[in-house]
Amino acid sequence: MNSYERLLLHNKAWAAEQVAEDPEYFARLASIQRPEFLWIGCSDSRVPANSITGTQPGEVFVHRNVANLVVNTDLNLLTVLEYAVVYLEVKHIIVCGHYGCGGVKAAMSRHSFGLIDPWLRNIKDVYRVHEAEFKAIADPETRCNRLVERSVVEQVMNLAKTTVVQRAWQKHQSPHLHGWVYGLNDGVLKPLVRKGPGVELPEIYQYDDV
């Protein structure tokens, strides 16, 4: 059997199992989606949003990219964000990084990786801002993990800078923004920051007329 056939076989069994447990399962899911959470995570196959949070289909709206970045010109991310905030009215947005992130490691190196270089530049910029702190950490792995954390906090701030989020805050005091980091070694999620309406953003990022 080809490896991909295993997926189809599992799917068949899974679908049958859901219906056996709850005959209305798919009818209910198909009619509407009202997830409470938007998850912005790394594409890394070891950090699947639903599995590690014990959530089911229908509960989490998901966007994933290399190193879970919130880049203000990324039309893909912005589209997902606006849809989640304006139409789905998610209550929480979670940016989830993970220790040992390959994207962050690559950004810390001086090697060029091709097309991904400008993408990783966003992490290099976070490094530059906290350069003194990173240079004081001797162990490369510890340094990388600290950059993972610093980057997650930065991505949360990037969300707060968007008109989509600021408009929602003015209108209905939500969503709340969360920055978490996942440990590949122990499977544990560690909350780093939580920001809501009234977050202290430098004035220049605050829109008066959203």
Residues with catalytic annotation? 42, 44, 46, 98, 101
**Per CB under 5 A, 147 contacts Co ion:** no
Does 63 interact with Co ion (rule: CB under 5 A)?
Answer: no
42 sits near Co ion (criterion: CB under 5 A):
yes
Q: Kindly tell me which of 44 and 154 has the beta carbon lying closer to Co ion.
A: 44
Q: Among 37, 44, 106, 166, which residue interacts with Co ion (rule: CB under 5 A)?
A: 44
- Give me the DSSP letters along 106-133: HHHSS---STTHHHHHHHHHHHHHTHHH
- Long-range own/partner contacts, residues 143-147 (CB < 8 A, 24 or more apart): 143/108, 144/100, 144/101, 144/104, 144/105, 144/108, 145/99, 145/100, 147/104, 147/107, 147/108, 147/123
Please check whether residue 183 is in contact with residue 98, taking contact to mean a CB–CB distance below 8 angstroms: yes
Span from 3-11, 52-60, 103-111, 137-145 in contact with Co ion (CB under 5 A):
103-111
Residue count, binding to Co ion (CB under 5 A) = 4
Q: Judged by CB under 5 A, which stretch of 54-62, 99-107, 116-124, 148-156 contacts Co ion?
A: 99-107
- Contact, 91 vs 175, CB < 8 A? yes
For 190, phi then psi, to 5°, come to -115, 115
Q: Contact with Co ion (CB under 5 A): which of 85, 101, 156, 181?
A: 101
Instruction: Return the range that interacts with Co ion (CB under 5 A); candidates 12-20, 43-51, 76-84, 127-135.
Output: 43-51
- At its nearest, how many Å lie between Co ion and the CB of residue 102? 5
**CA–CA separation, 19 and 29 (whole Å):** 12
Nearer CB in complex with Co ion: 64/176: 64
CA dist 210 → 81, 84, 127, 137 (Å): 16, 18, 31, 41
Stretch that binds Co ion, among 41-49, 57-65, 147-155, 184-192 (CB under 5 A): 41-49
Binding site for Co ion (CB under 5 A): 42, 44, 101, 103
